[in-house]
Structure 1
Amino acid sequence: MKLDRLKLSIEEVPFKKSLSFVPLIKKLKEQKKINGSLDIQGESILKLVEEKPELASADFDVNDVDRFKDEIHILMGYFFTPVQYREEIGVVATPFDDQNFYFTPKYLELYGNENLIVEMVEQKEQDKCFKTFSMLFYAYSMILKRYYNFELGIGYLFMYKVTDKLNELVKYYKLEFEKSCIDITYSGKLPKLSEEQLHKMINNPLDMDFWLETLPLDKFKFSGFLPFRYVDVSQIEVISSLKSQLLEKSSIIKRNNFNQLEQNIRSLLELPNLKLGIIAFGMNEGNVENPSDFWHGFLSVDRFSCEDYRGTIYEEAGIQGMPVLINDLSKRENPNKLELALLDEGIRNIAIVPLYNENELVGVMELGSNKAYDITFSNLRVIKDIIPVFSIAIQRTSEELQNRIEAIIKEECTAIHPSVEWRFARAASNLLLKKESGEPSQMEEIVFPNVYPLYGAIDVRHSSVIRNQTIQDDLLEQLDLVRNVVLSVNEVKAMPIYDQLIYKIDYFKDGIKKGVSSGDEMNVLNFIRHDIEPLFPHFEENGPLVKTAIQNYKKNIDPDLNLVYKRRKDFEDSLGIINDCVTTYLEKEEEKAQTMFPHYFEKYRTDGVEHNIYIGESIANNLNFDRIYLKNLRLWQLIVSAELARKAEVLKRSLPIPMDTTGLILVHSQPLAIRFRQDEKKFDVDGAYNIRYEIVKKRIDKAKIKGTNERLTQPGMLAIIFSQEKEIAEYQRYLEYLISAGYFEDQIEYHTLEDLQGVYGLRAIRVKVKGGKEKDVLKLAEDLKIEN
């Protein structure tokens, strides 16, 4: 029940109460009268009462408890046998009061241990009157049964949580009481309660003010005593708590939630040293797959791949479908590297529990301890009821993660471009309908026929040459630095071996100066790392000059890569800045272009940025396509390419390594079809004839002007390649307009290209990009009037 809506205006019980042993005495006398005799305990109690008639007082003074301590111990023996007295947590109190007058030793241990925190579970801070409310509820249950023959099933209301401050283990106890030794009397005429009133009370269990008004308690008196027992329900409560936690979202993923799960498992198994691990695993043809950083395993996925788990206790548990328990990893013969890593993490005792959901392996649970034989199969039996809940939680979390990952991929990688989402949704809907009807089903092919392609690229000029030069520069610097180290130590203490090392360094330098070929970089780095760097501790013993040379070497080495990474970093940074600028601008303008007419767009980064565009009626859902949209997009592409060339030129001045860029556009007037390739999760041209378009795209970047050795693509210029004469005329009109608008210099070059492998008869136009202020691309495109 939700106790935050509890209604109670009083803080103390409103009825009279007194301590009395008379109810017990009467009970024993009635039993003797019925049975003719009592057991030894009962007879000794009655004999004691004859000897000590004060014990039979209707109102026993609680202040006399100490005086009759031994006698009361005999009386309470009726409820606590010697074994129960030693083993149970028990207390006896005056009726519905806090006056406890008899305690078992374990009760005193519980409340006398300063390392234990004992607290009521139910709303201890939220509702201060909960204890009074509970006592009234118990009192009413006894009154209704005794006077109105109405059984009020209430279970238990008092629950205590005991936390050990030393190890944070938690135990739970419910409070059970024996109410047979309570007498209830009523002074005056007993109120009558109709069935309707009784039901109204039961239907408002939290409105105790209403109960007190309906059946006042001021004329009732409770005399006797209440024996209480603290019953350990830790296993039930912890398992219930674990199930509730596991049903919450992110119960396994978030570290704080996971730590609470681990602590609850420790309390459940009473193992303060226990460690919990969860890994999402799958089995593929009998092999383990899918470890992920999203899960909290004992071992980091940075150090171990899926392959490392094969042939281990993890795979054994998954294949057998049963827990695998290793009592002491340190005693394993020929331990594999995974087991050695576990020992390094302080795990000696480990259990691997496979997690299955609908007969499919979804993960494993790791239970570990730094003490051998800490975890037993008895422990595993204790947690068997929560294993299915862990399985459900890991499956649900895996699916949630998958959805989130797919959303990120969709947003960042545009694997499914927004312009074609509608087609994928339709295909998925069709598949679902077939499955629901029981038909054989698979994802239908997704093809867009009769679409027009546009291809463009912004490339960094001589990027491979620059990259090789930066590698060469960094290697030479590293060799010079390490040469200085060897020279310095050789000056202090000359040895032939140092001369040999200097010779080897110079040999590598001479080779690198001539050019870096495949394998040169690795040979140099292996030599430095294996033949020289291990000697540094020995070198440092030769004085401060050598130490300074070594420190200078280390200062110039990238700490993560362990090599000189200066010019290469400048190159990568410069390339990254150019590509980021191109990508950002292209994405922004492409978003605007989609408002003209929907089209498929994709980009990919190399040593530059390339883009593919496909436009046609089959892509534009429920929209009529006209060639005016193709012409508009072609003009848009020219404008964007000019703007990108301008931006790259301006950007060049601030780059760590100045780089030139070239612009290229391929024109293809014949419509083609594109098909979504399920295996590659991307679109590709469809059909043997259309493959020629892809071949041309891959080879034109190095095309040369016929009869010369000059590359068509040049810095600061835009090259447009055609395969048909009529295409040139169309683009000539666009360029004439853009020249007048200030995008290009007033000179159009016309070229025939050298034949490429399998590609013949290509023509090209080349124009020089003119510097100037940036224009609003979309407004310019809309202002232009193009005739069909």
Structure 2
Amino acid sequence: MKVLTAHPGVFNDDKIIESNISFVPFLNFLKEKAKHEDDPRSSFYNLIIQKFENNPDTLKSIPPDADLSAYKEYLDLLIAAIFPVTADSSKDIYGIGVPFKFAIFYYSDLFKKLFTEDGNELTAIPHGISLGKVKKDKIAWLYKLILERIYHFPVNYQNDIIHTIETPDGGKRYVKVNIDPRFVDVKAKGELPQLDYNQFCSRQITPETIQQLLPTDLFTLEGFVIWTVKDVTQSETLNNIKGLVMNMRTSNEVESYQKLEKMIPSILGIPDITAHLVPFPKVNGKNVLEEQFSNTDPILGVGNKKQQQHFFQLLLDHLESHPTPLIIPDVHDATVAAHGFLKYLPIKNIKSFVLVPITHKNEILGVLELASSIPNKLNANPLWQLQNTYPLLVLMLNRSMNILESRLNEVIKDQFTALQPSVEWKFVDAAWNYLLTPQEERKDIESISFDEVYPLYGAIDIRNSSVQQGNAIREDLQEQLELIRDTLETIGQTIHLPLLEELQFKTNDILNNLSDSLQAGEDLKVNEFMDQEIQPVLEHLCEGNEALKPVLQNYFAKMDKTEGHVFHHRREYEESLSAINMAISKYLEKEQHYIQSSFPCYFEKYRTDGVEYTIYIGQSIAQEKKFDPLYLRNLRLWQLSSMATIARLTHKLSPKLKIPLETTQMILMHSAPITISFRSDERRFDVEGAYNIRYEIIKKRIDKVHIKDTGERLTQPGTIAMVYSFAREMEEFKKYISFLQSKKILLPDIEMLDLEELQGVSGLKALRVKVNMEVSEL
């Protein structure tokens, strides 16, 4: 029998330790067994021992590269003793090899088929394992053997290696390789170093360290090792699926499903099929379909969202009434005709198909689909193989439901609620204290408040936004009225109806009286005229007169499909407004990370015509970090600098808008700390106390404040206005202004302004500075 070895350059085994084949350890093992006369096999053992001892050559060490053909009958006896008589060389995987070396000198036919590349060399490196890992494992195996046999240290052998095999049909199988060293003797060459077990095991020993303590050239190996291999595809695949489920999260969810789908054909033992697992999570009690799972699906991957949702609903209806596997061994138009959601299977060249609903507690969690391009490839027979996998599929689909819920909660938390990480800890504390209270003693949950916090308020407003909006509405109305007038004139040349003349008169009258600045409710009256008097007449004429269709279709083509009116001026205004607000919001969201990194604070941003924000900072918000006024000063400097950046940002964006819009920037300075509390009814923080309410009143009334005795608005494009009440607030901001002027961010000069009295508020003053629009971004 030919010795199978790995490529000679892979491991260089001969340079690590001397190793020879020997039958002596095996014979010594049999002699111990034969001593037990009550063992019915002792006579058989004695016959084998006698057979070997009658030939002294068999008791000598045999070099690993020797010709073993002379020992064939002895090897046959050895195999008969080690392996049961029921072993089948064509079905069982086993071999006998040289200790430590990748050299097998007796092996079953199936071993040779699976573990050789061309029948000549062993596949030495398992698939997916690095050469370095294999070498490290070999050294660890060797030293465990030495420590156990020479030093009698208790060693826990881990001789099993999971080997991945790519089968000729493209499938993947897992086999467990066990290398049994019981018939190996370790012999020492001369005097060996002393090792204390307690000291040896009290620290972590690396392979490099132990090789220095015990060089391998101090030992030789004699005997043989037994290689046994077991197909563990089912159990190993199940372990891999468990790992996928346990480690699945939002970032790798799709990838985890793809890996699982590649494993299912191996579990079923049908390599040339495809599997698709599609979760049907519930949102508000209704099953939904996520696009990330449906695009490649045989049933639902149709490329048309409307049709996809239609098929999805048909599938849900079917599963509700038939919660059992749907098996179609031979797919063609006739076999899928009864199921509308299977319409595209024949077109996709799917010739055999199985649909398995995955349910738990009578609720549908998703479906497993099996497909093949070969007719009759799939039937009900292999489905029992899913018995052990099914609970894992349930776990994975439930995990997807949890992931979706987390994603929904993140969106809700980010987009709709005021709860932020900087203050979340206090809500968690309150919730924990609530849970600690016995249920019968629970009342209302404790209120959430933060004392002694400093507010910072900023507002970026769209200059003359209401005027711009009114202009857009008036221009749309005027354009549509002119279009109605022209259309009625053209119709009047074809047919004569007094009613058309009357409508034309009304249209001209409305056009002539349309105000340059619309009065309240004026646009509603015009829209009512167009909807109730013009629209029905034109629609009727379009349906009843072929000659008028071109002109009327031209009119309807110019109407916005959603609004039913000329709407492009208003849409241009809304798109321009949205572009500015989005740019400001993105900038502030990015800056939030910067300001939170210096000291935790509560940042609340909301949109009006522009964007407003309020920031609260103080010791009561920080859970652990110590507050110092320098963090407040740093935040005020950031506030002024960021307003300059926003002014430049919107100025640069303005020429790109369909309707150029300008922004104004304002800061409210308030140096006294306040108390804020969470209002459960509005899901937001509000100020507490009579004095603190003054701050809120100022916030709400200064957006359109004028400079005293001038009638000029405080806020102007290209400037930053800073409103204050006390001289110390003004002096602080003047320092920041001077610093930013030195950096050319702000232009020279500062305006010192008195403001008009507001309802309930007097004595307000302001600083106003111009922003350098030419400075490059910092």
Q: How high is the TM-score relative to the length of structure 1?
A: 0.54
2:770 maps to a residue whose letter is: K
Shifted more, 396-405 versus 307-316: the winner is 307-316
- Measure how far apart 1:243 and its partner are: 3.6
Secondary structure of the residue that 2:252 maps to in structure 1? coil
1:605 match: 607
1:461 aligns with 2:466: yes
2:262 maps to a residue whose letter is: Q
135, 148, 163: which one pairs with 1:160? 163
Could you tell me whether the CA contact under 8 Å between 2:434 and 2:445 is conserved in 1? no
Change (3 A) 1:581 1:19: closer
- Measure how far apart 1:256 and its partner are: 4.4
Taking the aligned partners of 1:579 and 1:56, their CA distance within structure 2 comes to 93
Taking the aligned partners of 1:183 and 1:591, their CA distance within structure 2 comes to 64
1:540 match: none
Taking the aligned partners of 2:645 and 2:15, their CA distance within structure 1 comes to 80
- Measure how far apart 1:312 and its partner are: 8.1
Could you tell me whether the CA contact under 8 Å between 1:49 and 1:56 is conserved in 2? no
Change (3 A) 1:25 1:267: same
1:433 aligns with 2:433: yes
1:381 match: 387
Cα deviation digits, residues 521-574 of structure 1 (max 9, x gap): 9x99xx99xx99xxxxxxxxxxxxxxxxx9xxx9x999999x999756643442
Taking the aligned partners of 1:618 and 1:252, their CA distance within structure 2 comes to 35
125, 136, 145: which one pairs with 2:131? 125
Aligned pairs for 1:403-414 within 5 A:
405=411, 409=414
Taking the aligned partners of 1:620 and 1:205, their CA distance within structure 2 comes to 46
Secondary structure of the residue that 2:88 maps to in structure 1? helix
Taking the aligned partners of 1:575 and 1:750, their CA distance within structure 2 comes to 31
- Measure how far apart 1:232 and its partner are: 1.7
1:781 match: none
1:104 match: 108
How many residues are matched? 645
- Measure how far apart 1:374 and its partner are: 7.1
Structure 1 regions of 5+ residues with no counterpart? 1-7, 484-495, 497-502, 533-549, 624-628, 667-671, 703-710, 718-728, 735-740, 752-760, 777-788
1:575 aligns with 2:585: no
Taking the aligned partners of 1:591 and 1:154, their CA distance within structure 2 comes to 52
2:434 maps to a residue whose letter is: K
Secondary structure of the residue that 1:367 maps to in structure 2? strand
- Measure how far apart 1:174 and its partner are: 1.9
1:773 match: 770
Secondary structure of the residue that 2:573 maps to in structure 1? helix
Taking the aligned partners of 2:426 and 2:767, their CA distance within structure 1 comes to 46
Taking the aligned partners of 1:353 and 1:618, their CA distance within structure 2 comes to 50
- Measure how far apart 1:656 and its partner are: 2.5
Taking the aligned partners of 1:45 and 1:474, their CA distance within structure 2 comes to 113
Change (3 A) 1:304 1:231: farther
Taking the aligned partners of 2:176 and 2:460, their CA distance within structure 1 comes to 73
Aligned pairs for 1:612-623 within 5 A:
none
1:350 aligns with 2:351: no
1:238 aligns with 2:237: yes
- Measure how far apart 1:745 and its partner are: 11
2:176 match: 173
- Measure how far apart 1:85 and its partner are: 2.0
- Measure how far apart 1:88 and its partner are: 0.9
Taking the aligned partners of 1:228 and 1:619, their CA distance within structure 2 comes to 65
Secondary structure of the residue that 1:92 maps to in structure 2? strand
Could you tell me whether the CA contact under 8 Å between 1:177 and 1:228 is conserved in 2? yes
1:263 match: 262
1:136 maps to a residue whose letter is: L
1:14 match: 18
Change (3 A) 1:591 1:682: same
Taking the aligned partners of 1:137 and 1:620, their CA distance within structure 2 comes to 55
Aligned pairs for 1:395-544 within 5 A:
405=411, 409=414, 415-416=418-419, 422=423, 425-439=425-439, 441=442, 443-446=445-448, 458=461, 460-468=465-473, 517=527
Could you tell me whether the CA contact under 8 Å between 2:460 and 2:663 is conserved in 1? no
Taking the aligned partners of 1:467 and 1:384, their CA distance within structure 2 comes to 61
Cα deviation digits, residues 431-466 of structure 1 (max 9, x gap): 312313435556434479999999978451345445
Taking the aligned partners of 1:63 and 1:22, their CA distance within structure 2 comes to 19
Taking the aligned partners of 2:84 and 2:661, their CA distance within structure 1 comes to 92
Change (3 A) 1:518 1:82: farther
- Measure how far apart 1:242 and its partner are: 3.7
- Measure how far apart 1:652 and its partner are: 6.4
Secondary structure of the residue that 2:18 maps to in structure 1? coil
Change (3 A) 1:221 1:618: closer
Structure 2 regions of 5+ residues with no counterpart? 1-11, 373-377, 488-493, 495-499, 512-522, 544-553, 669-673, 705-710, 718-724, 731-748, 774-778
Change (3 A) 1:271 1:694: farther
Change (3 A) 1:235 1:662: closer
Change (3 A) 1:700 1:365: same
1:89 aligns with 2:90: no
1:228 maps to a residue whose letter is: W
Change (3 A) 1:384 1:142: farther
- Measure how far apart 1:156 and its partner are: 1.7
1:488 match: none
Secondary structure of the residue that 2:89 maps to in structure 1? helix
Task: Please tell me the root mean square deviation across aligned C-alpha atoms, in Å.
Answer: 8.0
2:7 match: none
- Measure how far apart 1:575 and its partner are: 1.9
1:368 aligns with 2:358: no
% same residue: 19
217, 237, 240: which one pairs with 2:219? 217
Secondary structure of the residue that 1:230 maps to in structure 2? strand
- Measure how far apart 1:106 and its partner are: 1.7
